[in-house]
Amino acid sequence: MSLMKFFNILAAGLLSVSVVSCNDFLNEEPKGLITTDSFYKNDQQARQAINGIYRNLAASSVTGYEIKNIPNDLLKRATWDEGSGLSNFTYGPENPSIAVMWKGHYSVIKDCNSAIANIEANRDNIENADRYIGEARGVRAFLYFDLVRWFGDVPLVIEETKALENLEVARTPQSDVFKQIIEDFEFCANNTFDKGETDKGYQYGRMTKDACKGFLAKVYLWLGSVADRDGVEILGSASDNYRKAMEHAYAVIKGGRYSLCDYYPDVFNAKTREKAQSEVLFCIEGLTGDNTGTWTGMYFGFRGGVEHGGSWDNISSSDYHRMIYEPSDSVRRLWNCPRIQIMEDGTLWGWDYRKFWDTRSDQKLSEATENNNWVQWCIGKFRRYPLADPGSYNYTNFGMDEPLLRYADVLLIYAEAYNEVNHSPGAYNPATGTDLSGQSVESAWDAVNLVRKRARIANKGIMHEDPLPRELKTQYASLNTICVPDWRPGFFGYAYDGTRESASYHGYSGLYEAFRGEILYERARELVAETTDRWCDLVRRGEFENAMQSWRLYNPYISASERNILTPGAPENISRKHYLLPIPLSELDVNKNLKQNPEY
C-alpha cells in the first residue's frame, strides 16, 4: 500500500482499536472500526483510540522483526534467506523489507494524526484531552525519528487527511522533520505522566515524561553526531546538540524513577517482565496466551524446533559479534550470542550449554572453547526458550516485551554526550556495590561503568536452564578490576582473547578519542538487535563502511574446513549511499513528488 493509498483509506478517520495487554489499556473492549461521527464523545473513547495506536505500534513492520532486517556488523542472514540483497548490500528501491518499514510507520502516523485531530475537535467532552494528544504526538515523534534516520528527508504529514487531493506529498527537509519531532516530544513531556503516577493515567508501556526526555537525548545525540560527521548542521551546531543530549539524559538519570535491572537477561525474559519495568522506559508488550506477542523470537533465538521454543534462524550472530566481548563479559556474551541448538527431544546441545553463569571464570575465546560442533552462534536476546507457555508454541504466544528505550541506553547516551561536551570523560570513581540507580552518576566514566557493573552480576546455575527464583552473585558487582573491569584513564577493557587493552589495540591518540571510539563497542555489547540502534550508531558516526569490514572476520579458532556457514562477502559493495535507505519503488510509482536518494 502506498503512502497515498493508506492516507486515503479511512479518510474520515476510521481507527482500528484493539486490545493490547493485561493492563486496562490493553484489556478494554475492542471496538473494531468506528467512525469519528460516533466516536471521541468522552474520555473513555479517546483513551481507547490511543490504545489502538499502541496496539498498531506493535506491528512487525513498525517495531518488530521486519525493521531489524537492516544489516550491520553484528548480524548475518541465513544462506537460504538473503533478503532480496540485504545480506550482501545489493538491495535497491524494490526491496520488500524496506517498503514495509516505510508503509508500517506511515500507517501508524495516520492513526496518530486522526486521534490528535479528533480529540482536539472534541476536547470539551474529553477531560484528559491534552494527555491523550500528548501520547499520540509522542508516538508520532518516535515514528518520524525512525523514518528520518533511515531515509533522510521524508514527507512530513501531521494533519488528518480527509480528502483525495494533496496526498502526493513531497519530501520535507530533515531540519523541518526534526523540528516537529522535538516539538512533539516536548509537548508529550509537558502533558503526560511520570512513571508510577497511576492516578494520572500511567501504565507500563505508555509514553511517559522520562521516555520523551530519553528520546530527546537520542535525537540530539544524532543531530550532534551527524553535524560532526558531515561538517554541516541539520538543526543546530554539534556542540549545542551534544549539550542538549547530555542535559536530557541527565534529567532522566537524576529523576530517580529508573534503575538498571540487576540481571541483564531479566530485561528480555517473559518470566521476569516485572523486574524489567525498573529499566524499560518504553516498550512493546506481548502477553502469553493472547497472541499479542511479536514474531521477533521466530527470527532471533535458538536454532531448533519451534515446538520446543526454537526459531526459524533467519538471522544469526556474526563471528565478529562473538569477538567483541571481553573474556569476563560472559553474561552478555552468552545471552546475546550463544552457541546453542535445541534438539528434536527439546534438550539443548552446544558448547555454551555446558558453561556456567560465572563472570569470573576464564572464558576466553580459544581453540578449546570455540571448537566447532556444527552449531552456529545465535542472536539469543529474544529467545522463545524455554517456552513461557509449554502447552502452546504459537509463534507469537511467548509473552516477551520488546524494549524500545532502556535506562542502559540513556546512561550510554549521557556518557557519549558528556565526553563530547567536555572533550574528556571527566573524573574516574570506581564502580562498586550493588546500587544500579545511577544517582551518583556525574562523569562519563560513572555512566558507562554502571552499565558494565551490571554485566558482572551472574546467576547461579547452568547456562540456559533459566532457574527461578534467581540466586544472583551480587558480590561480583564490586570486582571492578577483574570482572568486566571498569573503564578508567588509560584502560578500556580487554580484547576477546584477554591479551590486549582495547585502547592500545585501536591506536587512539588520546583519552577523548579513545572514549569516543570505545563507546560504540559498549553500545554494541549492550544493545545488539534492539530496534535499529547498531546501524544508526555506525551511520551517525560515519563508521559504517569501516565497521562492516569486520563483518567478514572469521573466528580465528574455527578452521575453514570446519566452517559450515560462511560470513557474506559484502563489504566491497558498501558505499556512502548506504548511510540512507532507498525510497521504496512502490512509493515512487504512485507519488511523483517523491525523489530517490542519491545513487539508488
What are the residues whose beta carbons fall under 8 Å from the beta carbon of 567, sequence distance 6 or more?
Answer: 76, 318, 319, 551, 552, 553, 554
Least confident of 96-105, 255-264, 555-564: 555-564
C-alpha cell at 266: 531479566
Write down the pTM of the prediction: 0.92
* Residue 560 domain-assigned (yes or no): no
Name the residue among 70, 138, 59, 139 with its Cα closest to residue 104: 59
Please tell me the predicted confidence (pLDDT) of residue 363.
65
Do 270 and 251 fall within a single domain? Answer: no
pLDDT digits (tens, 9 = 90+) for 545-563: 988 887 777 778 776 666 6
Is the separation of the CB atoms in 328 and 292 below 8 Å? no
What are the residues whose beta carbons fall under 8 Å from the beta carbon of 93, sequence distance 6 or more?
Answer: 582, 583, 584, 585, 588, 596, 600
C-alpha cell at 35: 467512525
**For range 290-307, the mean pLDDT:** 79
Please tell me the predicted confidence (pLDDT) of residue 436.
98
Mean per-residue pLDDT of the chain: 86
Look at 330 and 261; give whichever has higher pLDDT. Answer: 261
CA distance 209 to 221: 18
190: left (phi over 0), alpha (psi -120 to 50) or beta: alpha
Do 393 and 456 fall within a single domain? Answer: yes
Is the separation of the CB atoms in 324 and 408 below 8 Å? no
Do 219 and 308 fall within a single domain? Answer: no
Do 188 and 303 fall within a single domain? Answer: no
* Residue 440 domain-assigned (yes or no): yes
Please tell me the predicted confidence (pLDDT) of residue 12.
32
Please tell me the predicted confidence (pLDDT) of residue 87.
85
Do 33 and 133 fall within a single domain? Answer: yes
Residue 575 has pLDDT above 50, yes or no: yes
Please tell me the predicted confidence (pLDDT) of residue 391.
73
* Residue 548 domain-assigned (yes or no): no
* Residue 546 domain-assigned (yes or no): no
* Residue 536 domain-assigned (yes or no): no
317 lies in which domain range?
A: 258-373+385-531
* Helix or strand (DSSP H, E) at 284: strand 280-284
Count Cβ atoms within 10 A of the Cβ of residue 598 and give its class: 0-12 exposed, 13-18 middle, 19 or more buried. exposed
Do 429 and 481 fall within a single domain? Answer: yes
Say whether the peptide bond before residue 71 is cis (omega within 30 degrees of 0). Answer: no
The DSSP result for 387-445, as a single string, is PSSTT---TT-S---EEEEEHHHHHHHHHHHHHHHHTS--------SS--S-TT--SHH
pLDDT band at 2 (very low <50, low <70, confident <90, very high): very low
* Distances from the Cα of 369 to the Cα of 72, 340, 363, 366, 377, angstroms: 26, 13, 7, 5, 13
Residue 491: strand, helix, or coil? strand
**For range 184-202, the mean pLDDT:** 96
Please tell me the predicted confidence (pLDDT) of residue 520.
97
* Residue 556 domain-assigned (yes or no): no
Please tell me the predicted confidence (pLDDT) of residue 94.
97
pLDDT digits (tens, 9 = 90+) for 117-132: 999 999 999 999 999 9
Do 77 and 153 fall within a single domain? Answer: yes
Do 217 and 336 fall within a single domain? Answer: no
Please tell me the predicted confidence (pLDDT) of residue 30.
38
Residue 164 has pLDDT above 70, yes or no: no
Please tell me the predicted confidence (pLDDT) of residue 187.
98
CATH number for 7:
1.25.40.390
Do 359 and 506 fall within a single domain? Answer: yes
Do 250 and 268 fall within a single domain? Answer: no
Do 249 and 297 fall within a single domain? Answer: no
Alpha helices by DSSP H, listed for 193-268, are 209-230, 238-255
Question: Which of residues 492, 510, 531 is at a domain's end?
Answer: 531
**For range 508-528, the mean pLDDT:** 95
Q: What percent of the chain has pLDDT over 70?
A: 85
Residue 304 has pLDDT above 80, yes or no: yes
**For range 235-248, the mean pLDDT:** 98
The DSSP result for 30-92, as a single string, is P-EEE-TTTS-SSHHHHHHHHHHHHHHHTSTTTTSGGGGGS--TTEEE-TT--TTTTTTT---
Number of structural domains found in the chain: 2
**For range 520-538, the mean pLDDT:** 96
pLDDT digits (tens, 9 = 90+) for 14-29: 333 333 333 444 444 4
**For range 285-300, the mean pLDDT:** 70
* Residue 564 domain-assigned (yes or no): no
Look at 467 and 255; give whichever has higher pLDDT. Answer: 255
* Residue 333 domain-assigned (yes or no): yes
Do 148 and 206 fall within a single domain? Answer: yes
Please tell me the predicted confidence (pLDDT) of residue 388.
72
